[in-house]
Amino acid sequence: MPRDAAQTREKIVKTASRLFYGKGVRAVSMDTVAEKAGLTKKTLYYHFRSKDDLVTAYLASRDQPNLDLFAEWFAQAEGPLPERIRAIFDNIAKGAASRRWKGCGFLRTAAELVETPGHPAVKQASAHKKRLEAWLAEVIAAEQPDHAPQLARHVLLLLDGAFSTMLVHHDTAYIRSAGEAAAALLRGKGFMSAVSKAPP
């Protein structure tokens, strides 16, 4: 792709990302994206054949940066594994205190597209969550190899549950409480009973 075309595409995705995250994918039209990007609709549709393609590109653009940020928070934290995992939750709480915070873009988009589970953006959201779960399993296994996949899934559920609850209550105490629960889980408190009761 020529440099100018690549720059234009990047500009579109950045503009769409800001609008979709701030207002929701259903509420933002392609006309609005083109206007805010300072482009014609013809140019917009040259780079993205449909809104579905653009919504998918929006989530794809957030995938690796989000994973990198989680990894950065984990690496910068001190202490044993449970405390470093809890640091991820604490850092999310700091970001969620801002008025600009609108929750997890992947979860919100998937919720808006709940009637179309085969939508490429929903698949992109699923792929992101799977990558996050795999990364959690990897860092957990490095120190606690037993039950790492199950622990990672439980931590992910605590994360996503807290994301959703904070949108309802607008209270970062929930993500901090989820972090405490994740840390307790990784210390072994109550985990074996949860695993023993889980379906095969």
| Mean pLDDT within 174-189 | 93
Tens of pLDDT along 75-102?
999 999 999 999 999 999 999 999 999 9
Q: Which domains does the chain have, with CATH numbers?
A: 1-49 (1.10.10.60), 62-197 (1.10.357.10)
pLDDT band at 9 (very low <50, low <70, confident <90, very high): very high
| pTM of structure | 0.90
148: which residues sit within 8 A by CB, 6+ positions away?
A: 137, 138, 140, 141
> Does 195 score more than 90 pLDDT?
no
- Integer Cα distance of 12 and 28 in angstroms: 13
